[in-house]
A and B are shown apart, each in its own frame.
Chain A
Amino acid sequence: MTGTIKHHLTDAVLISYSAGTLPEAFDLVVATHVSLCDECRARMHAFDAVGGELLEHAEETALAPDAFAATLRQIEAQPVSPPPPPRAAPGVLPAPLRAYVGGDLGSVAWRRVGGGVSDAVLDVEGEATVRLLRIPGGVAVPDHGHSGCEMTLVLQGAFSDEIDRFGRGDVEVADDALQHKPVAEPGPDCICLAATEAPLQFSGILPRLAQRVFRI
């Protein structure tokens, strides 16, 4: 799987993920992509190493005089971490995404948004939103531009836009300059995880009405 991914996260996104300055919606896309991509996992560890070196060589602030003793008392009260939950059987959705959906693909609560497309908005805090999108093979997502950054990760099927083809594991990081029209490849439904910083701007009248009704 990992060898077939051609579209990766940008350095800027990975630094921010490592620094902890991404909105939750983008954190989720990053964590889901890295679950599928060893290259970006290695890059993520490298960016974490930068954080470690900065921590190492930065200032120190003195702790309270009894801090060590207080910490030992905390350890005594709880000597071990709770065991991690058992690994779920592999499915379409990687583990970090299953946590937000409440299960694998079968648990997603789809709603129709027009043109054969369905979505499921996930519950995150912060300025950016994230949703699962389901686009039947051969169907185009209506024309839209956006202000701010949008990240689209393919989980099933594939889509093509003016730039390239995106299959499972590929992630497209797009900024406001990109006005694009992705088309799902014929075949299985194209399922994507899409996060955006700003509400999508649809170009046509009907999609804009749909946007108001469906809070896209």
Chain B
Amino acid sequence: MNTTDRLQWVSEVEAIRDRQDQSAFAALFQHFAPRVKAYLIKTGSAPDVAEEVTQDVMATLWRKAGMFDPGKASVSTWVFTIARNRRIDIVRRNRRPEPEDLPWGPEAEPDADDVLSLQEETERLGAALRSLPDKQRTLVEHAYFGELSHSEIAEETGLPLGTIKSRIRLALDRLRHEMR
């Protein structure tokens, strides 16, 4: 997936938000639902539960389209967080603790440069992940697919997160400054 593809997914989410566009939703469903189902099975769900939860995750995507911020995450990231949260919520009594919402809420119209930069950074992160030495990449996959506890994860993950983190941090700092 390249930056153009990522921007396309952002457009599909915006089409749902703005026009309740079902063909946009169909495109998202066709791409992400099978990935979500595979993720749920890999992290321990039985296939029939994975099917049910996947449909629920995709429905959530529709309902929360207005809350997606493309300046902060790619659509893949957003879908991942919805699937991860649902996976935890079905096992626990309480919902997964989440950080307090930022005081300004999702912006009405994120800065176009922010969106492009973030999607590009995510693209680079994906490429860097795939070029990690096998041993490191396997470790990261094990961590995310639930096979490692935090004490089993080495301090040096080798993940090249510096630039994407800085970009997000810059955007946060700017928004806080604008709020004053």
Chain A positions near chain B (C-beta within 8 angstroms): 10-13, 15-16, 18-22, 24, 26-28, 30-32, 34-35, 38-39, 41-64, 67-68, 70-72, 74-75, 78-81, 84, 87, 94-96, 99-100, 124-125, 148-149, 175
Contact = CB atoms under 8 A, between A and B. Distances in A.
Contacts, number: 221
Contact of A49 (B47, B55, B56, B125): B125
B109 interface: no
A144 B153 CA distance: 25
A55 B36 contact: yes
A166 to B, nearest CB: 20
B77 A51 contact: yes
Interface in B124-180: 125-126, 129-130, 140-141, 143-146, 148-151, 153-155, 157, 159, 161, 164-166, 168-169, 172-173, 176
A105 to B, nearest CB: 16
Contacts of A61: 34, 37-38, 41, 47, 50
* Contact-residue size bin, chain B (C-beta under 8 Å from the other chain): 35 or more
B153 A15 contact: yes
Interface in B53-104: 54-56, 58-60, 62-64, 72-74, 76-81, 83-85, 87-88, 92-94, 96-101, 103
Contacts of A124: 94
A20 B38 contact: no
Contacts of A53: 76-77, 122, 125-126, 129
Interface of B: 1, 22, 26, 29, 33-39, 41-43, 47, 50-51, 54-56, 58-60, 62-64, 72-74, 76-81, 83-85, 87-88, 92-94, 96-101, 103, 122, 125-126, 129-130, 140-141, 143-146, 148-151, 153-155, 157, 159, 161, 164-166, 168-169, 172-173, 176
A10 B151 CA distance: 11
Contacts of B176: 38
Given A51-B144, A55-B36, A75-B59, A35 B29 contact: no
